[in-house]
Chain A
């Protein structure tokens, strides 16, 4: 029996897509890289995922898990072919009010979870800009962040348990509502592993109480440096606001042109700051941020009057990527992180690189975390531009690493940054990561060729590396 027949038998024909146009649709995520799916399946629960895993292992076919496909690093692109496992049908939400947590299907959309929790005065803290589309399974796979991770941490800090299908089709429930599960933290290892260790079917997530009070403010600055300096000074002043988001002028203009949100288009940069907590605290903190902003030359400080006004300010920020479409057909978005004290110099270098390559660059990013998102708007159909975009991108990442940073803050490695892993980790570091992969996924069917560059596994630590395998081969 072929694996296609086996899949039809296990999931029913309605949940197995094989038409060329369907395969084409699911052969790419939101990155620029396309793969080629051999088949797309929609399992309804962990038992069906387990069947898929067993079939894939028996037939040595790669499995690529996919939620909404909003990932930006080709993590969900079936670049080695194989079975694309779409988790969107696994979409239950079971809220546990007493424990302030919820078991959530991998296919549940991030915003739907918070909407379901809101009537109970609770919310799920990670809020990627794609939260109206991205799924919890994708958030877990990429340890996603979002503006509010500054104070509350990324997805991994909010995952208390996982239902995951591992090698051999074994379904395990890791963690739970009780703190400190005993033994090695497999749950913590699987979060952020980009579907390379198993397929998460459900997550037990922490729900936080909604804040009693909030102040959201927009500060306009005459230079990007003055805005970035304000960010650094806010953190050094002993505060961790709920969010500190920075947009440069090009981005503000693009957003304003699209949304008419009343953003200050004349400013070189705007800073969106939000503080939460008890009223007494948020008032004091908002005042400190406003004072620091003014001391750095802020030309205006606008405090949200009410919830509607606040929503408008946030809509400007969260719609940024959608606004790019008016400028160019494609965009290339980076996700490097630098220590917050190096923000100003890194931003200067990033602009210099864009100017040198004559590229249209816009910036909108999680400044409080030092998490940059330089975005190049361009036309991918022009090979020369394509080359320049990628070369400039490599230079930007290199400068971030030189300034003590990391390759990715919240988007993951996927294929896009896989080969840059060697610039930040030693052979032994990568070998250790390859051993983690081998220990958990011995047959290598889970999302092969992602995250780790080929040849990461050394045969021994004397530095003898396995012969480089040809491109495209997975073992």
Chain B
């Protein structure tokens, strides 16, 4: 590739990898990329890089130097943090104040920006809703280098279009997320994990935090005061372990996200090929799965799409998809999506090819 302009060369951490230190740096990189027609892969923790079918990038933008907590107001339940901050670090800071940003559990090296851009959510989403409901403000840099802010640092806001929400699951196609304000939630000190015989048993408690089923068992996650935990555990028939024991996402050569209407979840589990490992979120309709082979995926996708769902490839070995589309049938309104992207990233430099429909 061509040599970098001197103001960008200082950001290089490896050949073809730049680590911006500010929104202005991100802007400089993207303006350069737009001018030269370079494909930029935005890299957070690298834990969700298996989505879509991106071509080989010309440049990698590492968010490793954008990790600061810009503002934390425990009494307001808001946090402003840069996109490169690790989810684990953020949650560790918050739990000191008995608060949580309700980001994915067991995040590994995931960053806040990566979680938002890929649309990943916490296991607690059945009770506290997903990541898109927790984003109050976003500052992003568009493909042509404009630094743009949307939303606000208050918990309730209808001031203009909901630009932050549009960033969730957009894989950076409209802009690189630089910093966000998140709506926090109190984390009660007492929590328990209760193993139950079947998902139906969870109906005994009102709106538990999560009901997870995997290849081994079904567990109900509750939290609250000690009295609440005791009462809910009793209703579930006992067998509680103190604390929350969240499963690691299954990992294999292929990773999957199966999304179906909640009423179809049990049917979806029954349709999984036997060698697939999974964690299913009851009440939500999400299954995170992994398999050594792709066999059975086409039938599963066909069924899921007929039921109003999706089977999305979240990870695959090089060349392993063999023509199997990572997203499946294109979503409705794809022309409108293209027009939105054209307004924000006209040279299509940020993470091209990550979105459905090859966008």
Residues of A at the B interface (CB closer than 8 Å) are 96, 98-100, 142-143, 145, 149, 153-154, 156-157, 166, 170, 172-174, 176-186, 188-189, 191-193, 208-209, 211-212, 232, 235-236, 238-240, 277-281, 284, 337-341, 366, 369-371, 404-413, 417, 421, 424-426, 428-433, 435-440, 442, 451-452, 461
Mark contacts of B292-329 with chain A using CB atoms, 8 A cut-off: 1 yes-contact digit, 0 otherwise. 00000000000010011110100000000000000110
> What's the Cα separation between A453 and B187 when bound, in Å?
41
Stretch at the interface among B1-9, B36-44, B60-68, B257-265: B257-265
Quick check: A180 and B76 within 8 Å, CB to CB?
Answer: no
Quick check: B228 and A281 within 8 Å, CB to CB?
Answer: yes
Q: Which B308-359 residues have C-beta < 8 A from chain A?
A: 308-310, 312, 327-328, 330-334, 336-337, 339-344, 355-357, 359
- Known contacts A425-B160, A429-B148, A435-B344; is-contact A338 B154 (Cβ 8 Å): yes
* B150 interface hit (Cβ, 8 Å): yes
Q: Which residue of B lies closest to A232 (CB)?
A: B75
> What's the Cα separation between A157 and B183 when bound, in Å?
13
Residues from chain B with Cβ under 8 Å of A436 in the complex? 161, 163, 166, 340, 343
Quick check: A405 and B332 within 8 Å, CB to CB?
Answer: no
Quick check: A99 and B262 within 8 Å, CB to CB?
Answer: yes
Q: Which residue of A lies closest to B139 (CB)?
A: A429
Quick check: B165 and A451 within 8 Å, CB to CB?
Answer: no
Residues from chain B with Cβ under 8 Å of A176 in the complex? 261, 308
Q: Which B55-95 residues have C-beta < 8 A from chain A?
A: 73-78
Residues from chain B with Cβ under 8 Å of A409 in the complex? 154, 156-158
Known: A178-B309, A189-B166, A192-B158. 17 other contacts (CB 8 A): A98-B262, A100-B262, A143-B162, A156-B165, A173-B332, A177-B261, A179-B285, A184-B337, A188-B162, A189-B162, A277-B224, A280-B227, A339-B153, A369-B156, A424-B152, A439-B342, A439-B343
Quick check: A189 and B165 within 8 Å, CB to CB?
Answer: yes
Quick check: A432 and B148 within 8 Å, CB to CB?
Answer: yes
The distance from the CB of B309 to the nearest CB of chain A, in whole angstroms, is: 4
> What's the Cα separation between A191 and B160 when bound, in Å?
11
Residues from chain A with Cβ under 8 Å of B173 in the complex? 184
- Known contacts A405-B154, A432-B142, A433-B163; is-contact A180 B225 (Cβ 8 Å): no
Quick check: A433 and B157 within 8 Å, CB to CB?
Answer: no
The distance from the CB of A71 to the nearest CB of chain B, in whole angstroms, is: 11
19 contacts between A and B (CB under 8 A): A98-B261, A174-B333, A177-B308, A182-B331, A182-B356, A183-B355, A185-B168, A186-B333, A188-B132, A189-B162, A189-B165, A278-B231, A278-B232, A280-B225, A337-B152, A337-B157, A340-B76, A425-B149, A451-B160
Interface centre among B152, B170, B185 (most CB of A within 10 A): B152
> What's the Cα separation between A240 and B223 when bound, in Å?
14
Interface centre among B76, B149, B309, B344 (most CB of A within 10 A): B76
Residues from chain B with Cβ under 8 Å of A337 in the complex? 152, 154-157
> What's the Cα separation between A173 and B333 when bound, in Å?
8
Quick check: B158 and A183 within 8 Å, CB to CB?
Answer: no
The distance from the CB of A234 to the nearest CB of chain B, in whole angstroms, is: 11
A-B contact count (CB 8 A): 260
Quick check: A180 and B130 within 8 Å, CB to CB?
Answer: yes
Q: Which B140-182 residues have C-beta < 8 A from chain A?
A: 142, 144-150, 152-163, 165-166, 168-170, 173-174
Quick check: A431 and B146 within 8 Å, CB to CB?
Answer: yes
Residues from chain A with Cβ under 8 Å of B205 in the complex? 278
Please tell me which one of the listed residues A145, A284, A437 contacts residue B156 in the complex, with CB atoms under 8 A apart: A145
Please tell me which one of the listed residues A178, A211, A412, A440 contacts residue B310 in the complex, with CB atoms under 8 A apart: A178
User: 8 smallest A-B Cβ distances: which pairs?
Assistant: A177-B261, A98-B263, A188-B165, A238-B186, A406-B152, A435-B343, A183-B331, A439-B339
* B133 interface hit (Cβ, 8 Å): yes
Residues from chain B with Cβ under 8 Å of A431 in the complex? 146, 148
> What's the Cα separation between A181 and B186 when bound, in Å?
28
Please tell me which one of the listed residues B154, B228, B285, B332 contacts residue A280 in the complex, with CB atoms under 8 A apart: B228
Residues from chain A with Cβ under 8 Å of B154 in the complex? 337-339, 369-370, 404-406, 409
- Known contacts A191-B162, A232-B75, A238-B98; is-contact A438 B343 (Cβ 8 Å): yes
> What's the Cα separation between A369 and B336 when bound, in Å?
34
The distance from the CB of B121 to the nearest CB of chain A, in whole angstroms, is: 8
Please tell me which one of the listed residues A156, A166, A404 contacts residue B153 in the complex, with CB atoms under 8 A apart: A404
The distance from the CB of A142 to the nearest CB of chain B, in whole angstroms, is: 6
- Known contacts A433-B160, A435-B344, A439-B336; is-contact A461 B149 (Cβ 8 Å): no
Residues of B at the A interface (CB closer than 8 Å) are 73-78, 98-99, 119, 121, 125, 129-130, 132-133, 142, 144-150, 152-163, 165-166, 168-170, 173-174, 185-188, 205-207, 224-225, 227-228, 230-232, 257, 259-263, 284-286, 304, 307-310, 312, 327-328, 330-334, 336-337, 339-344, 355-357, 359
Quick check: B160 and A421 within 8 Å, CB to CB?
Answer: yes
Residues from chain B with Cβ under 8 Å of A192 in the complex? 158, 161-162
Residues from chain B with Cβ under 8 Å of A193 in the complex? 161-162
The distance from the CB of A153 to the nearest CB of chain B, in whole angstroms, is: 6
Quick check: A177 and B262 within 8 Å, CB to CB?
Answer: yes
Interface centre among B130, B188, B340 (most CB of A within 10 A): B340
Residues from chain A with Cβ under 8 Å of B157 in the complex? 337, 406, 408-409
The distance from the CB of A76 to the nearest CB of chain B, in whole angstroms, is: 15
The distance from the CB of B189 to the nearest CB of chain A, in whole angstroms, is: 9
Quick check: B155 and A370 within 8 Å, CB to CB?
Answer: yes
Quick check: B334 and A413 within 8 Å, CB to CB?
Answer: no
Residues from chain B with Cβ under 8 Å of A98 in the complex? 261-263
> What's the Cα separation between A212 and B330 when bound, in Å?
41
Residues from chain A with Cβ under 8 Å of B309 in the complex? 178
Quick check: A183 and B337 within 8 Å, CB to CB?
Answer: yes
> What's the Cα separation between A178 and B284 when bound, in Å?
8
Quick check: A236 and B75 within 8 Å, CB to CB?
Answer: yes
Please tell me which one of the listed residues A366, A424, A439 contacts residue B340 in the complex, with CB atoms under 8 A apart: A439
Please tell me which one of the listed residues B155, B168, B285 contacts residue A188 in the complex, with CB atoms under 8 A apart: B168
The distance from the CB of B53 to the nearest CB of chain A, in whole angstroms, is: 14
Please tell me which one of the listed residues B152, B259, B339 contacts residue A178 in the complex, with CB atoms under 8 A apart: B259
Residues from chain A with Cβ under 8 Å of B359 in the complex? 183
- Known contacts A182-B331, A184-B173, A440-B336; is-contact A153 B133 (Cβ 8 Å): yes
Quick check: A429 and B150 within 8 Å, CB to CB?
Answer: yes
> What's the Cα separation between A471 and B284 when bound, in Å?
48
> What's the Cα separation between A191 and B330 when bound, in Å?
22
